[in-house]
Every structure is written in C-alpha cells, then in structure tokens.
A = this chain, B = another copy of it.
Amino acid sequence: MPRNALYAQSGGVTPVINASAWGVISAARRHPDKIGTLYVAQNGILGALTESLIDISTVAESQLAALRHTPGGAFGSCRHKLKHGSELKRLFELFAAYDIGYFFYNGGGDSADTCLKVAEYAQYQGVDLTAIHIPKTIDNDLPHTDTSPGFGSVAKYIATTTRECGLDLASMSSSSTKVFILEVMGRHTGWLAAASGLASRTPAEPPHLILLPEVPFDAQRFLRAVKQTVANVGYCVVVAAEGIRDAGGHRLSESAGTDAFGHTQLGGVAPLLANIIRAELSHKCHWAVADYMQRAARHLASANDLEQAIAVGEAAVDFAIHGQRSVMPAIVREADQPYRWHIAPVSLKDVANKEKPLPESYLRDDCMHLSITGRAYFAPLILGETPPPFDHGLPDYPVWHFPVMERKLPLFEIL
C-alpha cells in the first residue's frame, strides 16, 4: 500500500529551492506504488502544525512547471525551532491523520535538526515514518556535502556583480570614486564573500580585497591594503561579508551609532567601511548592500546549481522509497574539471546543527584573496546559465495559486 508524503521548505530561501520541490514532485510521481498523495505544508513546519496543507495533485501543472525557474520559497518558509512536547505530538497527530509515511524537509542546518528530531521521535514512538532532509543554503555551511543547492547561484551572482561593479568603478576612478564596497551575506562564514574571488582573472581585477567573518577585521591593516591597491591599480573593490568581526569577536555591523531619529543604526558593514576609508584615506567611496537581491536572483542562476537542486529533491524520494531513513542526500565531488559528482546519503546526525567552516587553504596567506585551491573548489559551482523565461521584459515568475485544503484536525495554537 502506498503511503502519503509531506514536503516543506524551511529557513532562508534560495534562487533554486523551488527546483528541489520540483525534484520531489516529479520523483514522487514516478512511484505511485510507493507514494500516494504528496502534500506540501505552507510556511515550513508551521504549516504542518497549523494544518495548512496543499495537495500537489490539485495544483495547476503550469504552476508546478514554474517551480524550476522561480526564486523564493513558493510554499512559504519559516524560522521556527520545533519544540519537544506539544509541537512534536501535534505533528505526529497530523502525520497519522494524513497517513504520512514520508517527511521531506528542505532547509539548512536548523532544518536538519528539526528533521532529526522528527525522525528520533518516530523511532521512539514506534511510528513508521521516513524523514529525509533536503539540503539548501546559500551559506554553503552544511557539512558532508560538496556544496548546498542555492550557494552556486548566489556565488555566480556575486562574482558577476563584483566584475560588473569593478568595470564601473574603473571608469570613474581617475577623477572621482576610488573605492567600491560590496556587502554580501554570510553572518558566520565567508563562503559567499570568498567565491567573489572567481571574478578576478588577473591580479589587477576585482575583487581586490575580501573580508570574511573568519578573519578578524583589523582596521589599520585593511586601510593599508586599500591604500596599496589604489596606488597599484588605481582603484579598489572590496567584498565584505556582513558578519565580519573585530579581534574581540564583536560584529562590526552591531557597532554602528544612531541616526537622526535616535534609532540604533543596525546592519550594514559596507557603509561603515566606506566611512572609515573616507575619514582615513579621503577617498570617495561607493558601497552596495546586496541582501535579498543576491539570494533571489534566479535570473542569473548557475545551471550546475539548478541541476543539483533538482537532483537532491529526486534523490530524497529515491532514498525514501528504498528504505533509507534519517538521511540527507549529499553531493559528492568526483572531479573538479570537468565537474563530476554523484549523490550519496549521509546520516542526519552528522549534519544537524553542524557548521562547515571555510577551509583556510581556500584563502591566500594574507587571508584577503582566493587561493588556487579555493578557486578550484568554487569554479564548477557557478558554471552554466539557465535563465528563466521572460515576459514583457521581466522574468516570468508566476503569481502562486495553491488551493489550501480544509482542516480536519482541531485548531492548534503555536505559542
């Protein structure tokens, strides 16, 4: 007898997380003998708790097809740490009510933890449930996988915009702006900032300096490097991760002052760095903060990343129906060039709540440039273009219409 399946999206979204959903949907369809109805919970685990469910068979085929090319989390995401006790109990009441035999949770490290909790609770309660975690994070900090779907596309976007902004700065530098600072995501790790180094083919090409959370920020050393770069190249492009810290481990973005309204100025290391440079070196600076722009830029996704995003979704279903439990489909690199990889299961216990740091060997000795080793790692992840269809000059992303099912369980309040 086929069992039903539940899929949900969790944590910060990516340009290709919906492609993983598509992978799950298309693989589930190939196995009607094993998987009956595929349900999707809205807003991650929250939708499972509140019984906000979509039966995928009721969704228009054109909407499902658009999952492959649309950024964001189509079904809604959440940041919610599942609580033991009432929440786990409720979740299993829902599983029972809908005969859920397979639970697919698509997210990062925290979501792997949620998935593991669900798996362990099932085992403890003697419930027949297969919980599989589908990797996703632009931070690239999930362990035991070559990369996490989402990362390669954002890396491609950041390296592209670094190269583009560098050309703009170069044009203006002889008589005007000398420094450009691009702030990218990365609160704990510098994977994305480091990947910007791919834009540089020659020493004179941007990025000229990369600042990472792993390397304590030293203002004097930074200013010397900027000054030297402007002297040598004529201008300087800095890529800074949002999470850079000083030697005391204090985040720079949290040290900002107050604005004219008396509110604490939160976030933005780029304007802070620009102010230091203006004050100390008297250079005209421009700065940008990419924020969601980078994470949502499906228009510039990496084809390799998209392929892997679909593949982990499909593999999750394959693993599940072949009896794998409490695993994550991980990407295993076989070769750098040409890039070859396959998917293998890793235990959720080895993934949950663990953070993969950027290897020191990916940086040169000065810790401000990508090393040859780092380049070899990042290079294949950004390969290939796979633009969405365009309509009226803009990416043709749909307005989502997902019919939400009527509830059959009592209301549940999330505290």
Q: Given that A265-B265, A266-B275, A278-B263 are known contacts, is A72 also in contact with B168, CB under 8 Å in the complex?
A: yes
How many whole Å from A201's CB to the nearest CB in chain B? 7
| Residue A290 at the chain B interface, CB threshold 8 Å | yes
| CB < 8 Å neighbour of A171 from B13, B257, B291, B302 | B13
CB closest chain-B residue, reference A157? B299
| Residue A345 at the chain B interface, CB threshold 8 Å | no
How many whole Å from A259's CB to the nearest CB in chain B? 5
| Residue A9 at the chain B interface, CB threshold 8 Å | yes
| Residue A178 at the chain B interface, CB threshold 8 Å | no
Q: How far is the CA of A265 from the CA of B279 in the complex (A)?
A: 11
| Residue A394 at the chain B interface, CB threshold 8 Å | yes
Q: Given that A167-B70, A201-B399, A379-B393 are known contacts, is A279 also in contact with B261, CB under 8 Å in the complex?
A: yes
Q: Given that A167-B397, A293-B288 are known contacts, is A80 also in contact with B175, CB under 8 Å in the complex?
A: yes
| Residue A341 at the chain B interface, CB threshold 8 Å | no
User: A160-196 toward B: CB 8 Å interface, digit per residue (1/0)?
Assistant: 1101111111111011100010100000000000000
Q: Which residues of B contact A135 (CB under 8 A)?
A: none
In this complex, the member of A169, A268, A274, A293 whose beta carbon has the largest number of chain B beta carbons within 10 angstroms is A293
Q: How far is the CA of A78 from the CA of B169 in the complex (A)?
A: 11
Q: Is the pair A271, B275 in contact by a Cβ cutoff of 8 Å?
A: no
Q: Given that A12-B172, A258-B257 are known contacts, is A165 also in contact with B296, CB under 8 Å in the complex?
A: yes
What is the size category of the interface that chain A forms with chain B? 35 or more
CB closest chain-B residue, reference A267? B271
Q: How far is the CA of A300 from the CA of B394 in the complex (A)?
A: 10
| CB < 8 Å neighbour of A77 from B74, B171, B397 | B171
Q: Is the pair A394, B163 in contact by a Cβ cutoff of 8 Å?
A: yes
Q: Is the pair B165, A293 in contact by a Cβ cutoff of 8 Å?
A: yes
CB closest chain-B residue, reference A175? B78
Q: How far is the CA of A159 from the CA of B393 in the complex (A)?
A: 9
Q: Which residues of B contact A171 (CB under 8 A)?
A: 9, 13, 72-74, 76-77
- 9 residue pairs from A and B, CB less than 8 Å apart: A13-B168, A77-B171, A79-B176, A164-B299, A168-B296, A256-B259, A263-B279, A267-B271, A286-B292
**Pairs of residues from A and B, 4 with the lowest C-beta to C-beta distance, nearest first:** A72-B167, A73-B171, A164-B296, A382-B393
